[in-house]
Structure 1
Amino acid sequence: MIKKDILNNEFHVRNATVEDAVQMEYVQKQCYPTLHELELMNRNHFINHIKIFPEGQIVVEKDGIVVGSASTMRSFFPIADKTYLETTDNLWITNAHVPDGDWMYGIDMGVLPEYRGLGLSREMYLVRQEVCKSLGLKGQIIAGMTIGYGRVKDKMTIEEYCYTLEIKKFTDPTVTPQKKAGFRWIKPLYNHINDPEAGYASILMYFPVDVDYKI
């Protein structure tokens, strides 16, 4: 089980418990204000994740309050394009989690806005990588939301925006840090998630366990 003190022992990373589900729901709502309500996880989703794959569910707390959380499942390397809801079994992961899957698929990560910029997402990625190693997994897979598209959506298409990210002409507040962390670009996923500010898109990436964390 995970239990790690970080940032001068001010924050603590640990496995999520069912008692955390209400606070994880709150983090989700605060982190994704433009995400369609049908794609927002609630406490019951989080409880189900914890029951199905307890090792892969993580929270960061400060003074007993959950300020960040991350949800994952086990999977084989994806070969077909799927929407976010299709990938996650409509957020429940019951039929999407593969017990003998050799990759960790990160389906959610969020930090309360007032605690951003401290490196808490980085710490959760690090812990997830440690979990991958302990379980003998090949690494992490994520679909990073193109959150920065909302700033330029009147100037270019989402396809053009993704290309600028690929050639590093633009930076994105979510995708760029993930790439710097060690995640490797696979391809854009258009019409993947119901969030207009992200152009309904994400970037599929992977982070093998044999790559050192760079941030």
Structure 2
Amino acid sequence: MNAVIRNYVPADFDALIDIQRECFPPPFPSELWWTKEQLASHVRLFPEGAICVEAGGTLVGSMTALIVRYDPAEAVHTWAETTGEGSISTHDPSGDTLYIVDVSVRPAYRSYGFGKAMAFAMYHLVVERRLARLLGGGRMSGYHRYADTMTAEEYAAAVVAGRLKDPVITFLLRCGRTPVRVAPNYLDDEESRNYALLMEWKNPFLRP
């Protein structure tokens, strides 16, 4: 299948919103799907961090990022405050961290490695920009199945150790991301009970 990773543009907005509908069905809140206003903000403020995958002439996935200044010792943050409610109005070109806002791949196209390819495109951007790391909060979307018997920290540890599989966290581990800590009240998401696992990829080429 012929495929290309490129920056998304206004002509892609309808397809990008359709991808969100497919990737995040109920009980995920539909108000967290992209709007055209948010997508326009991504393209305006940081077009390099707005990428998509086009395969066989169809838009099948997207990933969005912004640059922030991150202190590893800071208190746990939320998705909304870090991303400006998804608008990336908090983008700081002088920051040190590429922060992942979202990644989506249509379910029918998840066996082709497109999500991993977009992740590696973002790692390339980290290296190119000489940033310290890539960081993002991974939804623990399988946690609702274990929430009555395990804490979020226990669940995250089991997934990282390979004893359990989580649709999002296991994928991010395979992409080379490493865990930082569990973040409570990160995102309004019933499946993850509002928890996320902060995960990073450190720039191996950046000298202190």
Q: TM-score, with normalisation over the residues of structure 2?
A: 0.89
Instruction: Check whether the contact 2:160–2:170 (CA below 8 A) recurs between aligned residues.
Output: no
Tell me which of 124, 131, 140 is aligned to 2:134. 140
- Equivalent in the alignment of 1:91: 86
Q: Residues 25-104 of structure 1: matches in 2 within 5 Å? A: 25-33=17-25, 34-78=27-71, 79-94=74-89, 96-104=90-98
Runs of 5+ consecutive residues of structure 1 not aligned to the other structure: 1-7
Aligned equivalents of 1:61, 1:127: Cα separation in 2: 14
Runs of 5+ consecutive residues of structure 2 not aligned to the other structure: none
Instruction: Check whether the contact 1:21–1:44 (CA below 8 A) recurs between aligned residues.
Output: no
Aligned equivalents of 2:166, 2:197: Cα separation in 1: 11
Instruction: Check whether the contact 2:100–2:136 (CA below 8 A) recurs between aligned residues.
Output: yes
Q: Matched residues, percent identical?
A: 28
Instruction: Check whether the contact 2:152–2:182 (CA below 8 A) recurs between aligned residues.
Output: no
What is the deviation of 1:171? 2.0
Aligned equivalents of 1:32, 1:110: Cα separation in 2: 9
What is the deviation of 1:194? 1.0
Cα deviation, 1:160-196, whole Å, max 9, x if unaligned, reads 3223234442221211221232211110011111111
Q: Residues 1-215 of structure 1: matches in 2 within 5 Å? A: 10-33=2-25, 34-78=27-71, 79-94=74-89, 96-210=90-204
Cα deviation, 1:14-69, whole Å, max 9, x if unaligned, reads 11112111111111121111322332222221111111000111000123321000
Aligned residues: 202
Q: Which amino acid aligns with 1:28?
A: Q
Aligned equivalents of 1:138, 1:157: Cα separation in 2: 31
Q: Which amino acid aligns with 2:10?
A: V
Q: Which amino acid aligns with 1:105?
A: Y
Q: RMSD over aligned Cα, in angstroms? A: 1.8
- Determine helix, strand or coil for the equivalent of 1:92: coil
Instruction: Check whether the contact 2:140–2:195 (CA below 8 A) recurs between aligned residues.
Output: yes
Q: TM-score, with normalisation over the residues of structure 1?
A: 0.86
Runs of 4+ in 1 over 6 A off after TM superposition: none
Aligned equivalents of 2:184, 2:104: Cα separation in 1: 22
Aligned equivalents of 2:128, 2:98: Cα separation in 1: 12
- Determine helix, strand or coil for the equivalent of 1:198: coil
Cα deviation, 1:67-98, whole Å, max 9, x if unaligned, reads 0000100012252322221121111111x111
Aligned equivalents of 2:20, 2:204: Cα separation in 1: 31
